[in-house]
A = this chain, B = another copy of it.
Amino acid sequence: MKQEALLAQLAEIVGSSHVLFEGDLSAWELDWRKRYRGKALAVVRPVDTAQVAAVVKACAAHGAALVPQGGNTGLVGGGVPDDSGTQVLLSLGRMQRVRQLDSANLTMTVDAGCVLQAVQQAADAAGLLFPLSLAAEGSCTIGGNLATNAGGTQVLRYGNARELCLGLEVVTAEGDIWDGLSGLRKDNTGYDLRDMFIGSEGTLGIITGATLKLFPKPAARMTALAACADVPAAVDLLTLARQRLDAGLTGFELMSAFALQLVATHFPQLPRPLPNAAWAVLLELSGQDESQARGALEALLGEAMEQGLVDDAVVAESLAQSSALWHLRESIPLAQAEEGLNIKHDIALPVSAIPDFVAETDAALARLVPGARLVNFGHLGDGNLHYNVQAPEGGSAAAFLATHEPAVNTLVYDAVKRHGGSISAEHGIGALKRDTLPLYKSPVALGLMRAIKQALDPHGRLNPGRML
């Protein structure tokens, strides 16, 4: 009865065709990796910030909890409702306006529901670059990217989603609108509310709009693939590349021989450059002059070979060759999936700790699960590894996960902690790692987080059960 009153009020706010509570709602209730299926009281689809504020106020008045959702591409179950049937799923997907693009200020202001690719395209149409780029860019939204502080492939040069945002518009737990849509590079007038909301996974407020940083488009991009004998050589190559290329270095991706072998097995039509490399590094250099960029990249690789860091290398001669190299890197997650489920880790470490971490953890895993196969690859330039563990060859993936997942996670995360790393580099906490977090985060940090949550959402109505 009380729920019906709320549903009627929500229909009044957004229109009854945008309050969904019948039929197949799995587009909103099931996460895309199909590990979390919830049941919402209703899916509510506001079209602007005023509607979001009114929805939040109505839910507050009825004591209903809200789960904000963008493109529903999250990897940790942070954006789907629980199975209680009492939570309102607030989909921002209809809020898709590009509100302003300011070329002289290198900023654009957009609704939270804009799809990342649409944001990239709007910047591109103005001759500018919005550099956030990740696999889900065709369906994830900028609001979700900011709520989870997304990473991706260009963090080395341009930073995470956090570093690409100058201002936010947020609806608070009370249903007030905070207009923090600033296009300023400098503003020291109070606490950093923007960064408090970024990465808070919808638990402190609902991001409804953002002012984003744009960049000049690089005129030239050069890509190379280099073979390294071991991880320490790859780390030394990174140090040399940063020295020689500085901000020109826009990509530095590490791939193990086994990761590339999976790609070769499952996608035999793809080219396989440097087939004997123990480790392959994908380097990308961006610049304003093509011949200078090529010269700098070739000089770097020459110097690295002289120093014994690189055994062999290929430099892409065309955009098509460059895309082919990136395609290899991007095919690793798909090749893994073809090989069968594995135990995934999205970890970050100080770059200097990576050689020891890999050597120790590889050895410890081999002792724990003899024959387990490591799919080690990732954004080495950011210290971010996707350090995944695949069942021994021929074994059942499901049985492997059922038997070994908890012990493997503990082994990996304990090693991460020992080396000063993070158990979630770019994917967040959500529901998946909520119970793991307290094992690896200090009680003081957790206490500060709880104090902030209590201050901003005292009734616990925003995305409850996530993160904290």
Q: How many residues of A contact B (CB 8 A)?
A: 96
Partner of A183, one of B420, B433, B453: B420
B178 & A441 in contact (Cβ 8 Å cutoff): no
Partner of A456, one of B195, B351, B433, B451: B451
How far, in angstroms, from A178 to B348 measured CA to CA in the complex?
A: 20
Stretch of A10-18, A243-251, A316-324, A390-398 on the interface side:
A243-251
Q: Which of chain B's residues has its CB closest to A205's CB?
A: B448
A188 & B192 in contact (Cβ 8 Å cutoff): no
How far, in angstroms, from A105 to B350 measured CA to CA in the complex?
A: 6
Chain A at the B interface: mostly helix, strand, loop or mixed? mixed
A187 & B348 in contact (Cβ 8 Å cutoff): yes
The 5 tightest CB contacts between A and B, nearest first, are A247-B247, A455-B455, A195-B195, A104-B352, A187-B422
A441 & B190 in contact (Cβ 8 Å cutoff): yes
B182 & A422 in contact (Cβ 8 Å cutoff): yes
How far, in angstroms, from A243 to B349 measured CA to CA in the complex?
A: 34
Partner of A422, one of B188, B423, B452: B188
Q: A48 at the A/B interface (Cβ < 8 Å)?
A: no
A191 & B186 in contact (Cβ 8 Å cutoff): no
A218 & B246 in contact (Cβ 8 Å cutoff): yes
B102 & A427 in contact (Cβ 8 Å cutoff): no
Q: Which of chain B's residues has its CB closest to A185's CB?
A: B382
Q: A91 at the A/B interface (Cβ < 8 Å)?
A: no
Q: Which of chain B's residues has its CB closest to A347's CB?
A: B186
How far, in angstroms, from A330 to B271 measured CA to CA in the complex?
A: 57
B190 & A449 in contact (Cβ 8 Å cutoff): yes
Distance in Å: Cβ of A219 to nearest Cβ of chain B:
9
B195 & A437 in contact (Cβ 8 Å cutoff): no
How far, in angstroms, from A366 to B444 measured CA to CA in the complex?
A: 55
Q: Which of A379-397 contact B (CB under 8 A)?
A: 379, 382-384
B445 & A180 in contact (Cβ 8 Å cutoff): yes
Distance in Å: Cβ of A197 to nearest Cβ of chain B:
9
Distance in Å: Cβ of A455 to nearest Cβ of chain B:
4
Known A183-B350, A195-B196; contact A437-B189, beta-carbon cutoff 8 A: yes
Q: A253 at the A/B interface (Cβ < 8 Å)?
A: no
Given contacts A104-B239, A188-B426, A192-B192, 6 further A-B contacts (CB under 8 A): A176-B444, A180-B445, A188-B422, A189-B424, A189-B441, A455-B455
